[in-house]
Amino acid sequence: MARPYPRSFYARGTLQVARELLGSILFRRVDGLLLRGRIVETEAYVGEEDLACHARAGLTPRTEPLYGPPGRAYVYLTYGMHHLLNAVTEPRGKPAAVLIRAVEPLDGIEWMIRARGVEAPHLLASGPARLCQAFGLDLGWNRADLCGRDVWIGPGAPVSGADVATSPRIGCGNVPEPWGRIPWRFYVRLSNHVTPGRPPRKLLVTSALPIGNNRASRPGPAGRARNPSTRR
């Protein structure tokens, strides 16, 4: 079982942390179980100048966790129903965080299925609200220590640069530029578990290939058509 990242991991540039969290493992202890999920999608939100970041409002009771210390959870409620998990980054006093957008479930999947009410693996935690529901995270986890023993993030298999893609952050289309289209979303390019979740691809066989000595699988001479009905 991976140990939590140290606080120094989070006390760095938010973009670097957002990228390096890909492939890391999110853990949560619940009901005697250990839930685990591989992080496959993140977004960076940096500073009061970032008009997509809650810190644009300055220091308020709601945004206070964003100002540190790093390595704390910032969990908030959106649309009155969805909880979202963020990892606070940067040195204390600079408001910033990484939104954990999606994970690939690894362990505790039956618990996640009951929590979510769906069974398709690619729909369990493919989006930040789904993730919080799958892991049972709500406002009670706001300010939780991500370097502790109840919910934490630890090292996983690194994701190579060739497997990482970026895009503008989701849901920021109405934010003034450059913040609306700045490419601060990071995700594992071929993962089925990134927002909004994709079912695994199915193999489609479009034509048969000749196999061994099966004469019926070989093309006949030009101008000669086979009549299967004459064969016994």
Is the per-residue pLDDT at 25 higher than 70?
yes
Q: Give the 3-state secondary structure of residue 101.
A: strand
Domain 7-188, CATH class in plain words? alpha beta
DSSP run (H or E) holding 14: helix 14-20
Is the per-residue pLDDT at 220 higher than 80?
no
Q: Give the 3-state secondary structure of residue 193.
A: coil
Nearest by Cα to 100 from 182, 226, 193: 193
Is the per-residue pLDDT at 208 higher than 60?
no
Report the pLDDT value the prediction gives residue 173, as an integer from 0 to 100: 85
DSSP labels for 44-96?
Answer: EEESTT-TTSGGGG-S-TTTGGGGS-TTBEEEEEETTTEEEEEEE-SSTTS-E
Domain boundaries, the chain: 7-188
Summarised one tens digit per residue, pLDDT across range 178-193 is 999 999 999 999 999 9
Amino acid at 59: L
φ/ψ region of 117 (left if φ > 0, alpha if ψ in -120 to 50, else beta) reads left
Is the per-residue pLDDT at 102 higher than 60?
yes
Nearest by Cα to 100 from 177, 164, 187: 187
Alpha-carbon distance values, 33 to 1, 37, 50, 110, 117 (Å)? 13, 13, 38, 11, 18
The structure's pTM equals 0.84
Summarised one tens digit per residue, pLDDT across range 69-100 is 999 999 999 989 999 999 999 999 999 999 99
Q: From the CA atom positions of the chain, what is the Rg in Å?
A: 24
